[in-house]
Amino acid sequence: MNTPLEDQVHDALHRRVDPIQHAPLTVTDVRHRARRIQRRRAAVAGGAVAAVLAIAIPVGLSATGTNQRSDVPPATQSPSPTPSPSPAPEVTSGTIEVDPESAEVVEQTPVPLLDVDGPTLITPDGTLDLPAAYDTLTPYLDGWAGVARYDEPDKSGAFIEFLGEDLRVDDGGVPTGGLVESPDGARIAWSEYDGTRWRVMVADPAGGTEPVETTFAPTAEEEPVIPVGFVSDDAVAVRAMYNIGDPKTFVASGGQPVEVPGLLQADTASSTLGVVAGITEFRPDATCSGVVDAAAGGGRPAWTTCDHRLGPFSATGTYVVGTLPEAESGSRDITVLDATTGEEVLTFEAALPRRTVGGFWTQMTWVGDEALVVRLASGEDYVMMRLGLDGSVQRIGIESAGVSGLKVAMPS
Amino acid sequence: MTTTLVDMGSQDRRGGRNSHKDADFSAYMAARQPALYRTAYLLAGDHASAEDLLQNAFAKLYLSWDKIRDHGALDGYVRRVMVNENNSLWRRAWKRREHSTDTMPETGAHDTYDDGMGGALWSYVQTLPPKQRAVIVLRYYEQLSEAEIADVLGISAGTVKSQASRALAGLRARAPQSLNPRESGDAS
């Protein structure tokens, strides 16, 4: 038996729509839409085939990952531009000291930055006021997609939000495990919790194609699915935190997720190499990391290291960042590793004043294959640095609005 | 409410089967479109979005037509697709982009015998989160049971109950005084 309010809701809904006698659709309209859906499904299936083809190429890749893969015919037309051959950037070796005090100062940022206390978005073209502080923010459709973090009685944790062109939040948002972008910017991916299960969306920021959804088995919101990076043009690697502390790695490219064995915890991925990297072993004296193929299924790492925790891959998959495995308040150094062998190329070491706690944040971004933009903590101060693989060290001299400093808007 | 799917083979090897399919599908659409459009409108809140939701659901039904043996379950299938699509965050973002400049203001249906309360309640229903709103529409418009709603939404009956309870509490909190539990007798 209904309560009076339930009866009123029933009546209100019927009054609203009972006079509506619309039948606006024809069978032709429906057939057209059906064909669009079929084309999209075929494209997704083609993308999966492309990912499998890519890993069939022998893994003896040199440092020119993209060119090595260029003879694999794409299964579908990709909106991403084909990288034109360009001279290899100069790369030095050894250890480079990073001292913000003595570094050259540049006034422009090579990548978008977030001013946490502003909150503002700082781009090479100008500064935009934001409605809230965001962990990550990237262009999407006519506006932006971002991850905001809340700590309120009725709303806490990370939420994916969509902002309009005017930078106002269009949607209240839903819980998310994070937002990542493909190296060429042609796709973004995020996870969202719908009250029952986690879903991963892979979307074209330009809106050329409809987003593709991967649905996970029902779990609690507290067992998030965290995107870690793209493993092909359209597929993203994620870390699913099942049972809290027993994470599993999956590839999401539409439909059902595909498990990737071999990692205890996925941290990063490369779309050019088609690999996922993360922790492979916890030892009493070390935490070891490795790189596994995203599609081969064997789970055997191509290489491992117990000297570094692995961070973002460079855009072409030539390099991968290594940080100190046990760093708590920032990694004292950043080592650039050869992504196909794990060999050390060069190391950037933070020059911190004596008795000062700090180091490099693991949230950083690549500028092509040439440089990294990183946030360096030194005591209670934060500075943004551009570290060139040619050995150049520059401080990005943009002032922040408050003590929280700046950070990269979209980590690699 | 349960849709029975059987594999009828993916290829059409017999002549005329497509025309039968189109005739059957066309007859179903003609018979059910107005009613399902009303549900789409309640879920989406405006005519452009309702049309988009229904077109998408009909298209998916068309693609699965040969696999659905229980034709009594067709409405349930369409409802399920519409609700899931409408709950999808990306679709809402997509919709805003597609319709941000060409959507005419909604005039909706005129409440000819309404004292204003129906319009007010409808306004409140439109502010509910998509999942709660779906529960309200399926429960109080479609008159589905909690178990049937659970089947459509792919959630447990307990979750349906809690979503409905939260939605009603929200409506009660925002509704005008005349819906106050003490005045309306809705103290539960």
Residue B54 is part of a domain; what is its CATH number? 1.10.1740.10
Q: Which residue has the higher pLDDT, A184 or A68?
A: A184
Same domain flag for B92 and B138: no
Give the containing element (helix H, strand E) for B4.
none
- Same domain for B28 and B84, yes or no, is yes
Residues B44 and B85 reside in one and the same domain: yes
- Residue A261: CB atoms within 10 A of its CB come to 12
pLDDT of B103 reads 40
Q: What is the pLDDT of residues B87-146, one digit of tens each?
A: 765 555 555 555 443 343 344 444 444 556 667 788 888 888 888 899 999 999 999 999
Is residue A375, in this structure, part of any structural domain at all? yes
- What is the band of A169 on the pLDDT scale with cuts at 50, 70, 90? confident
Q: What proportion of chain A, given as a percentage, has pLDDT over 90?
A: 49
* Of A62-66, A206-210, B12-16, B26-30, minimum mean pLDDT range: A62-66
**Domain-embedded: residue B112:** no
Q: Distance, in angstroms, between A25 CA and closest chain B CA? A: 7
pLDDT, mean over chain A: 83
Contacts of A44 (CB under 8 A, 6+ apart): A212, A234, A253, A254, A255
* pLDDT, position B46: 86
Q: With contacts defined as CB-CB under 8 Å, which chain A residues touch B112?
A: 19
Asked if residue B89 and residue B121 are part of one domain, the reply reads: no
Chain B residues with CB under 8 Å of A21 CB are 34
Here the CATH number for the domain that contains residue A140 is: 2.120.10
Region B151-163: mean pLDDT is: 84
Please report which confidence band the pLDDT of residue A180 belongs to, taking 50, 70 and 90 as the band edges: very high
Looking at B47-156, list the stretches that DSSP marks H as alpha helix, in order from N- to C-terminal side: 47-64, 74-87, 89-99, 117-127, 130-136, 146-153
Quote the pLDDT of residue B117: 65
Rounded percentage of chain A residues whose pLDDT exceeds 70: 85
List Cα–Cα distances, B184 to A4, A16, A193, B123, in angstroms: 6, 21, 36, 19
Q: Which amino acid is at B69?
A: R
Q: Both B59 and B21 in a single domain?
A: yes
Query: CA of A35 to nearest chain B CA: how many angstroms apart?
Result: 8
Asked if residue B76 and residue B22 are part of one domain, the reply reads: yes
The single-letter DSSP state of residue A133 is: -
Q: Is residue A85 part of a domain?
A: no
The answer to whether A9 contacts B59, with C-beta atoms less than 8 Å apart, is: no
Q: Which of A256, A263, A203 is nearest to A233 (CA)?
A: A203
H, E, C per residue of A327-366: CCCCECEEEEEECCCCCEEEEEEECCCCCCCEEECCCCEE
Residue A301 lies in a domain: yes
Q: Is B156 found in the same domain as B93?
A: no
Give CA–CA dist A410/A256, Å, rounded. 27
Distance from C-alpha of A352 to C-alpha of A398, rounded to nearest angstrom: 20
What pLDDT sits at residue B48?
Answer: 84
Q: Is B125 on the interface with A (CB under 8 A)?
A: yes
Residue A163 binned pLDDT confidence (cut-offs 50, 70, 90) = confident
A174 touches chain B (CB under 8 A): yes
Report the range of poorest mean pLDDT among A262-266, A405-409, B111-115, B153-157: B111-115
Residue A242's nearest CA partner among A253, A226, A260 is A226
Partner B, chain A 344-403, Cβ-Cβ below 8 Å: none
Last residue of a domain, one of B31, B65, B99: B99
Domain boundary (B99, B130, B153) is at B99
Question: Do B23 and B93 lie in a common domain?
Answer: yes
**Mean pLDDT calculated for residue range A257-279:** 95
Q: For the residues of A20-86, what is the DSSP string, one character each?
A: -------HHHHHHHHHHHHHHHHHHHHHHHHHHHHHHS-S---S-HHHHHTTSPPSS--SSPPPPP-
B123 and B95, same structural domain? no
Find residues 37-66 of chain A whose CB sits inside 8 Å of chain B.
Answer: 37-38
Chain-chain contact of A196 with B89 (C-beta, under 8 angstroms): no
- The string of pLDDT tens digits covering residues A11-23 is 999 989 988 888 8
| Shortest alpha-carbon distance between residue A62 and chain B (Å) | 39
List of chain B residues whose C-beta atoms are within 8 Å of the C-beta of residue A8: 117-118, 121, 179, 184
Q: Is A220 on the interface with B (CB under 8 A)?
A: no
Instruction: Choose the mutation target among B10, B121, B188 for the interface with A, i.e. most A CBs under 10 Å.
Output: B121
Domain tally for chain A?
A: 1
Side chain identity, residue A346: L
**What is the per-residue pLDDT across A270-306, written as a single tens digit (0 to 9) for each?**
999 999 999 998 887 888 999 999 988 788 999 999 9
Do B47 and B89 lie in one domain? The reply is yes
Query: Between helices A4-17 and B17-44, what is the axis angle to 10°?
Result: 120
CATH number of the domain encompassing residue B174: 1.10.10.10
On whether any CB of chain B is under 8 Å from the CB of A29, the answer is yes
Q: Is residue A238 assigned to a domain?
A: yes
Q: Is residue A3 part of a domain?
A: no
Q: What is the pLDDT of residue B91?
A: 55
Contact between residue A319 and residue A345 where contact means Cβ atoms under 8 Å apart = yes
* CB-count burial class (<10 Å; 0-12, 13-18, 19+) for B98: middle
Position with higher pLDDT, A367 vs A38 = A367
User: Do residues B83 and B124 share a domain?
Assistant: no
Question: Is the residue at B108 inside a domain?
Answer: no
Residues B86, B23, single domain; the answer is yes
Task: Inform me whether the pLDDT recorded for A68 exceeds 60.
Answer: no
Task: Write out the two tokens for A206.
Answer: 């330009």
Query: Is B183 within the bounds of a domain?
Result: yes
Please report, as a single letter, which amino acid is at residue A161. E
Let me know if residue B1 belongs to a domain: no
Of A19, A23, A141, the CB nearest to B93: A141
B182 touches A at CB < 8 Å: no
In a domain, B32, yes or no: yes
Residues on chain B touching A168 (C-beta within 8 angstroms): none
pLDDT range class, residue A373, cuts 50, 70, 90 = very high
Phi, psi of A410 (to 5 degrees): -140, 95
Q: Is A7 inside any structural domain?
A: no
For residue B10, is pLDDT > 80? Answer: no
Model-level ipTM above the cut of 0.90: no
Q: Where in the sequence is the domain holding B50, given as residue range(s)?
A: 17-99
- Which of B1, B124, B165 lies closest to A13, judged by CA? B124
The verdict on B65 touching A (C-beta cutoff 8 Å) is no
Rounded to the nearest integer, the mean pLDDT of chain B is: 73
Is B127 within a domain?
A: yes
Instruction: Give the pLDDT confidence score for residue B14 in this predicted structure.
Output: 35
Contact residues, chain A, for B155 at CB < 8 Å: 195-196
Question: For residue A197, what is the nearest residue in chain B, using CA coordinates?
Answer: B155
pLDDT digits (tens, 9 = 90+) for A332-361: 899 999 999 999 999 999 998 877 788 898
Mean pLDDT of A100-125: 90
Residue B66 lies in a domain: yes
- Give CA–CA dist A135/B116, Å, rounded: 44
Whole-number Å distance between alpha carbons of A83 and A91: 20
Residue B59 has its nearest CB partner, among A34, A194, A195, at: A34
A203 with B63: Cβ contact below 8 A: no
pLDDT in tens, A298-311: 889 999 999 999 99
pLDDT at B5 (0 to 100): 32
Assess if residue A396 is contained within a domain: yes
Q: Is residue B12 one of the residues assigned to a domain?
A: no
Q: What residue numbers bound the domain in which A361 lies?
A: 94-408
**Rounded mean pLDDT of A133-142?**
90
State yes or no: pLDDT of B148 exceeds 70. Answer: yes
Domain boundary among B99, B134, B168: B99
**pLDDT above 80 for A152:** no
Please say whether the beta carbons of A38 and B63 come within 8 A. yes
Q: How far apart are CA A322 and CA A306, in angstroms?
A: 10
Task: Quote the minimal CA–CA distance from B15 to chain A in Å.
Answer: 19
Residue with more model confidence, A377 or A43: A377
Distance from CA of B28 to the nearest CA of A (A): 10
DSSP A155: E
Domain-embedded: residue A167: yes
User: Per the structure, how many domains does chain B have?
Assistant: 2
